Chain A
Amino acid sequence: MLAVYIALMICTMTPVIALQAGADASVLVWLVFALVIVKAVLLVDHFMEMRQAPAGWRFAAQAWAPVVVAAIAGFHTIS
């Protein structure tokens, strides 16, 4: 559980620090999208304990963030 917490912290701080350090915006955007999905899957599986839930419920809970992020990324790309 502690390892998941540390991973979530690292995933959270990385894009903000990269933004402050002046990282290339186009790279940063995709890094953020990827990290959000990683964080959401970690949170759903370990903190929400959905890894022990029936497969359909687990899939539905895990799918929310990737679906929303994919939609946001799609509109981000066309702008």
Chain B
Amino acid sequence: MITPSNNLSRHLPGDLAVWMFIFAELAVFGILFIGFAVARSLDPATFHDGREALHPWTGLLNTVGLITASYLVASAVHRLRQRQTGVTLLLWSAIAASSIYTFGKLWEYADLYSSGYNLGTDTFFMFYFFLTFFHFMHVVLGQIILVVLAIKVRKGDYNGDDMNGMESGASYWHMVDLVWLVLFPMLYVLA
């Protein structure tokens, strides 16, 4: 239960500006997802056929990569706060785990494109390529942020005294993961 006294010790992890950015991003993704749901309700057969052309195991592997990366980033934040060692290794491991997603997604794009699917194929693939590529770009930005965090921790710029930068980067990364948790079943299971 939240009381006035323990509410004082509560704090938003990361910078306020980053959270404004995160909520703006979530709003945009939310509107796009609802647009997908509306389009699907108007033409369920096309969306069902489109889903059949996707590889659910690739989607699952991508999800495992992103969730693993999120776990490693959360562990890195915890270890830095406790001034423990191994933070840099955890961040590089998170980048490696998230690369499962980036390479998996690139392979999937190449495979679908070689099979004749593209943005103009039908409404499902228009949404599929637009939504997943929009999310893909966010993942790539998140990976760049994780690289910067790893370098800064290595140099000693982040040492547990001021967690703002580390928490901000981690919050952005978790937002990318949160979006994928909705996007993955929407495209690969429900469509």
How many chain B residues touch A (CB < 8 A): the figure is 50
Q: 8 new A-B pairs (CB below 8 Å) besides A52-B10, A75-B40?
A: A16-B56, A16-B57, A49-B167, A55-B10, A57-B19, A72-B33, A72-B34, A75-B37
**How far, in whole Å, are A10 and B158 apart by their CA atoms in the complex?**
34
Q: Which residues of A have CB within 8 Å of B190?
A: 29, 32, 72, 76
Q: Is A53 a contact partner of B56 (Cβ separation < 8 A)?
A: no
* CB-based contact A69/B182 at 8 Å: yes
Contact between chains at B12 and A36 (CB < 8 Å): no
| Chain A residues near B174 (CB-CB < 8 A) | 43-44, 47-48
| B38 engages A75 (CB within 8 Å) | yes
Closest to A54 in B: B10
Assess the A76–B40 pair: CB atoms within 8 A. yes
Q: How far apart sit A68 and B10, CA to CA, in the bound complex (Å)?
A: 27
Chain A residues with CB under 8 A of B185: 15, 32, 35-36
CB–CB A60/B23 < 8 A: yes
**How many angstroms between the C-alpha atoms of A60 and B24 in the bound complex?**
12
- Cβ contact within 8 Å between B189 and A47: no
From B34, B44, B175, B181, residue with most partner A Cβ within 10 Å? B181
B residues at A contact (CB < 8 Å): 2, 7, 10-13, 19, 23, 26, 29-30, 33-34, 36-38, 40-42, 44, 56-57, 59-60, 63-64, 67-68, 70-71, 73-75, 77-78, 167, 170-171, 174-175, 177-178, 181-182, 184-186, 188-190
Selected A-B contacts with CB under 8 Å, 14 pairs: A1-B71, A5-B71, A12-B60, A12-B184, A15-B189, A32-B190, A40-B178, A48-B171, A49-B77, A71-B30, A71-B34, A72-B182, A72-B190, A79-B42
Complex contact B181–A40 (CB within 8 A):
yes
A46: contacting residue among B10, B74, B178, B181, CB under 8 A = B74
Contacts of A67 in B (CB 8 A): 30
CA of A5 to CA of B36 in the docked complex: distance in angstroms? 29
